[in-house]
Amino acid sequence: MIEKVNLAQKFELFSDHWSPKIVGELNGQQVKLVKLKGEFVWHHHQNEDELFYVLKGELIILFRDHEVVLNPGEFLIIPQGVEHKPVAYEEVHMMLLEPISTLNTGNVKNEKTVETLERL
């Protein structure tokens, strides 16, 4: 059955940070929702591009030579191989569009790595 997805309702289902949840799949890509707060880790994705779309809050993406600030309604595509570090001083709600193979911490494995994602 084909059903619509209400993003606000999906965000109400979880409270943890830095742990993406799958809300859809298309053409080898996953649509993920995630809540962010604090600093993530410097990392890159060797074989995947990522799309970060901010729905609530302000997200800062640090690069080694500059930073990009994303506000609600804005998105950024991070090309494969580009090192970056997301920072959210207040809680951010974000949607990701990534290949199924994408690990949230990319080339780094640590306590923030989520290998098996929950499906909402």
What are the respective helix, strand and coil percentages of the chain, to the nearest 5?
A: 5, 45, 50
- Look at residue 100 in the predicted model and tell me its pLDDT: 85
pLDDT tens digit string along 33-79? 999 999 999 998 888 999 999 999 999 999 999 999 999 999 999 99
Q: CA triplet 70, 72, 73: central angle to 5 degrees?
A: 95
Which class for 73: exposed (0-12), middle (13-18), buried (19 or more C-beta within 10 A)? exposed
For residues 73-96, average pLDDT: 96
- Look at residue 90 in the predicted model and tell me its pLDDT: 97
What is the reported pTM? 0.88
Tokens of 25: 């799949």
pLDDT above 90: residue 25: yes
Q: Average per-residue pLDDT in the chain? A: 91
H-helix or E-strand spanning residue 7 = helix 7-11
Domains and CATH numbers, the chain: 7-114 (2.60.120.10)
